[in-house]
Structure 1
Amino acid sequence: MSRSVQPVQAVAPGTELAGFRVLADLGTGAASRLYLVQDPRTKHVWALKHVVKRTEKDQRFLDQTEIEFNVGSQLKHDNIRTVEKLVKNRKVIRVSEVFLLLEFIDGISLDNHPPETLGSSIAVMTQVAEGLLYMHKLGFVHADMKPNNVIVTDDGLAKIIDLGQSCRNGTVKQRIQGTVDYIAPEQVHRRAITPATDVYNLGATIYWCLTGQNIPTAMSDRTGLGFAKDTSQLELPAAPSEVNPQVPPELSALVLECVRAEPSDRPTMEAIRNRLQIVQVRMENESSGFYPPQQAGVANEENPQTTAD
């Protein structure tokens, strides 16, 4: 489970980092800080992630950044953030900090701004499914899909971000990785990570978008690893249509299929994309409105970033 990590100290605008001029501080992550930067030669604007290793325990953050580069540099899709370049700085012979150059996305993450209509929610999730399907076809699994890892621009373009826990299909990880309210049973029990893992994570994300509530997962303790529930003990959540009657039955059923305990019982990402498109077309034809529950923001504040790592 993630612990408190001291944030990387910010540098002032105008400072040069890894050959790029800092324009603004965009925020912090675990052992990292994100900047808006500009290439002084091309004037192109990027996002630059700065990750610092202070102790040996921080090595995992460097490792995850390198994974993000190794996977992301192979992906070229409109719904996945572009990963451009990795710069490593060494002290003596050991890497002490890394800089990851990323596409700058002028938007807001889903956890900070949930979709305001059913139509926009389906549109965003269809795009996310498209991006994940693309990853699966190349043999990769995102393995940490959640509202915080989807950024939506003003014109409705959805971008999947944060590939630090991504892996090859079939990988068995050495430790539990994932986010408590979205984690799949196979992640908790350290079984093979497959495209079905992304299906579960996405289903939990859609559930939150539709209801403002989180599903029960195999990781029962919200503040620590606690007791990992066996797959046979895992409860299905209430149907989204029961929590929010405005959710169409076919969409509600799809979400429940996505969060089934057994990976083999879940639909494929392609089937999810197709079924979301069908619901989207029907909703557009009916021109139905939808307003999510007010508790959505409260639910997210209660456990905004509880991550097993």
Structure 2
Amino acid sequence: MTTPDRRLALKANAPGGGHARNKAAEMEQENRHLIHLTKVGAVDAAYRIDAGLWESGRWLAVRWIEGVPLWRALALARGPEGNRPSVHPWLLGIARTWAQRLDALHAAGWAHADVQPTNTLVDSDEVHLIDYALACGPNETGRLPYRGALTHTTAPEVADAILSTSDDTHIHVQPPADIWGLGASLFWCWTGRRPVAYEDEEDRMAKHQAIAQGHTIPLGDARPWPFPAFETLITACLAPDPDRRPAAAEVAAVLTEAGQ
């Protein structure tokens, strides 16, 4: 959507669309999250524009973010032709700015809780995060129960919680799960393979069972070409134990130093 002075992304629920989740309630929740995250400086104040009701539910308007989803952005890097001197710092720059965005959330006590390629837009070598509907923050009340997001980037501890709790139990996602999502997304979009081995036709619970075991495909078996610095980063982010994953600030600092 374009107005005389800016471009907007307009979200609105689609009544009768057949979605299991309550999209109107999710949009209302995302609006609350954006208001709070803007106040604490974790999200750019220019991102949220307005929100309200329409005859069939709710709408939310946010600033249009330039960029392409991570999968499309890394298309060149997935082949051997991606092994170029110019591509190496570009990949590290994507990971660095992504970690910086997450660090702003984590420093405010929040987790994005839906870190995945579709919610990650790449503009040149800079990453922008979108879609805060499922974010988890401190002292939240009246929220929809979090029961996972995209299966392929779900952290082992979240997968285990989904398997071991009832469908109406809220799972409070912590920042290390975002770091897993970062590593899983980079693994997937660079190698073309999801980090945990399971068949597409398996049901969601079976996939969560595989993820909860914490075993990932060896990166050396999946990478399109060797890049030790990038491989070390991804491997660290995919540590099965959340306490052994680096914090977003640590990831950003290491990659800033590597780019100097």
Q: TM-score range by the shorter chain?
A: 0.7 to 0.9
Match 2:194 to one of 201, 209, 214: 214
Match of 1:157 in 2: 126
* Match of residue 48 from structure 2: 83
Q: 1:178 aligns with which of 145, 149, 152?
A: 149
What's 1:64 paired with? 26
Q: State the alpha-carbon separation in 1 of the partners of residues 16 and 66 from structure 2.
A: 31
- Check whether the contact 1:239–1:256 (CA below 8 A) recurs between aligned residues: yes
Instruction: Find the residue that maps to 1:37 and give its secondary structure.
Output: coil
In the TM superposition, what is the alpha-carbon distance from 1:72 to its structure 2 partner? 1.9
Query: What pairs with 1:116-265 in structure 2 (closer than 5 Å)?
Result: 116=76, 117-153=87-123, 155-168=124-137, 174=145, 176-190=147-161, 191-216=171-196, 224-227=203-206, 228-229=208-209, 233-240=213-220, 243-248=223-228, 250-265=229-244
Q: 2:58 aligns with which of 81, 93, 98?
A: 98
TM-score normalized by structure 2? 0.77
75-84 vs 264-273, which deviates more? 75-84
Larger strand fraction of residues: 1
Match for residue 255 of structure 2 among 252, 270, 276: 276
| Greater relative contact order (CA < 8 Å, ≥ 6 in sequence) | 2
Q: Tell me: CA distance 1:121–1:241, structure 2 relative to 1, closer, same or farther (3 Å).
A: farther
Amino acid at match of 2:218: A
Q: Is the 8 A contact 2:34 2:43 kept in 1?
A: no
TM-score by length of 1: 0.66
User: Which structure has the bigger radius of gyration?
Assistant: 1
Residues 196 and 211, structure 2, Cα contact 8 Å, conserved in 1: no
CA shift at 1:158, angstroms? 2.0
Structure 1 portions without partners, runs of 5+: 1-35, 91-95, 282-309
Give 4+ residue runs of structure 1 displaced > 4 Å after superposition. Answer: 55-59, 76-81, 169-173, 219-223
Q: Does the 8 Å CA contact 2:42/2:108 hold for their aligned counterparts?
A: no
* Deviating more after overlay: 80-89 vs 166-175: 166-175
* Structure in which a larger fraction of residues adopt helix: 2
Q: Which runs of 5+ in 2 are unaligned?
A: 77-86, 162-170
Describe the shift of the 1:45–1:175 C-alpha distance in structure 2 as closer, same or farther (beyond 3 A). Answer: closer
- CA displacement, residues 235-255 of structure 1 (integer Å, 9 cap, x when unaligned): 13213587244312x432221
Q: Is the 8 A contact 2:196 2:210 kept in 1?
A: no
Tell me which amino acid in the other structure corresponds to 1:82: Y
